[in-house]
Amino acid sequence: MSKVQIKSALISVFYKDGLAPIVEQLNELGVKIYSTGGTQSFIEELNVPVTAVEDVTDYPSIFGGRVKTLHPKVFGGILHRRDHEGDQAEKAQYDIPAIDLVIVDLYPFEETVTSGASEADIIEKIDIGGIALIRGAAKNFKDVLIVSSREYYSDLLEILKEQKGETTLEDRKLFATRAFDTSSHYDSAIFNYMNSEGLVPSFKTSARNGKVLRYGENPHQQGVFYQETEPYFEQIHGKEISYNNLVDIEAAIQLIGEFGDETAFAILKHNNACGVATADNVKTAYEKAFQADTISAFGGILVTNKEVTKEAAEEMHSLFFEILIAPSFSEGALEVLKQKKNRILLVLKKGWDRKKIHKSMLNGTLVQDYDHVTDSADNLQVVTKVAPTADQVDSLIFASKICKQSKSNTIILANNGQLYASGVGQTSRVDALEQAIEKAKKFGFDLNGAVMASDAFFPFPDCVEIADKAGIKAVIQPGGSVKDQLSIDYCDEHGMAMVFTGTRHFKH
């Protein structure tokens, strides 16, 4: 049957907004409506004739509404095949009414979980009848139209008005595909809630309403952004966000989250920090961050964890940058920053809170815990005769935070809450260090008294020797090499301080 005229409909929904025009249009087309509970009362208030499902099944709603539509007359009315002689005979034998349209949504499970409700309330929001009706109607899409969410009401209303309630096979298959999207997403959310402790070794994720991007990593690649949780930011100005922008935004949010309540500012390029600083105010922090690499900052991603003031905005306004992320902007700052129409301004809604991260790999998915360990003074092990001073400890911790959020192999050079230079993504740790030293000198930094951070251990003493000759006097690294003692001995012989954290921060 290519085309089906809707003659009967079952409507049972949690959300009633947007439903009235549909009910009225169905009534105008002479469609017989079946309904239950609150939806039935809603339809009656519209002065539209409606038949209670209980009158069809001869069975009341029981167990506090847990069982209402789970009955052969309801599911038979949906699932019987219109072109199947046996189904038609049984339909007549058991006096089963045909149902051509099913409008059903699901209890708000995810919203209930997000609200912080009790486990008992959450469990009650696991829909049974609704999910079964959706799957049943979707399975029989050759004969039945299933509307599984209020987000499809406008499409249904168009069919009712423009096609006078006559559906095509293409219509019904599209709505069925949407219905299975609804049901699979719902079941994934329930499973992930029930499996919060990871007792079942199964990975499920569901992200809906993908946003088609201008392109992917390169113009010849298509890109789509699927977001499965509450967004981390709200865009308040600027051009459309690209694939590469999103990758940089995640890196920026992760990095700025390392600094807690400290006023911090960072500039990133290709997911790595080219400037980071802490200060008493955003303006000063930006100035210090910009000094670290005035070239790479061009076209970069800017992020801070404090409100952007007008003074700070005026300071950075002359720089061409793609994105600025902050928890808030003063009115004066927005007046300045919005002068460039393509400049993307994002309000940071929440800090990085993912417990797990995953990436596609070899037609599979890698899943791991997010690296939530941030090195602190409390977990430092002094392994040299010379201990770092209090100021050096502060600088070492500052450097390690940047190191953690940079691509391996990584070396960070810093001092007094300011990134001097970094060597990132190198195949050799020596190369990373030499790159950092050369870059620091290029931008006029004196490395005498600076500190060095490494994301992994030194297999040989060559890095501490190179650092020592450049003027660096304190080092932070995880330790763990079978040849750790060689680096320790060099530091002791040359009056350097070195601390171990015991935590490696590889980031590939």
Catalytic residue numbers, as ranges: 139, 270
CA distance readout (Å), 112 to 116, 124, 132, 188, 280: 7, 10, 21, 15, 41
Buried b (16+ CB within 10 A) or exposed e, 442-461: eeebebeebbbbbbbbbeeb
CA distance readout (Å), 375 to 64, 378, 407, 474: 52, 8, 17, 16
CA geometry: angle 114, 234, 352, nearest 5 deg: 55
* Angle, in degrees to the nearest 10, between helices 462-469 and 429-442: 10
Among the listed residues 313, 255, 266, the one whose alpha carbon sits nearest the alpha carbon of residue 289:
266
Strand, coil or helix: what is 480? coil
Strands 321-326 and 356-361, bridge-based pairing: unpaired
Sign of the torsion formed by the C-alpha atoms of 161, 165, 170 and 174? positive
One-letter amino acid of 166: E
Q: Which DSSP string corresponds to 45-112? A: HTT---EEHHHHHT---BTTTTBSS-SHHHHHHHHS-TT-HHHHHHHHHTTPPP--EEEE----HHHH
One-letter amino acid of 85: E
Among the listed residues 299, 293, 278, the one whose alpha carbon sits nearest the alpha carbon of residue 440:
293
Burial class (CB in 10 A: 0-12, 13-18, 19+), 77: buried
Strand, coil or helix: what is 24? helix
Q: Residue 344 has what DSSP assignment?
A: E
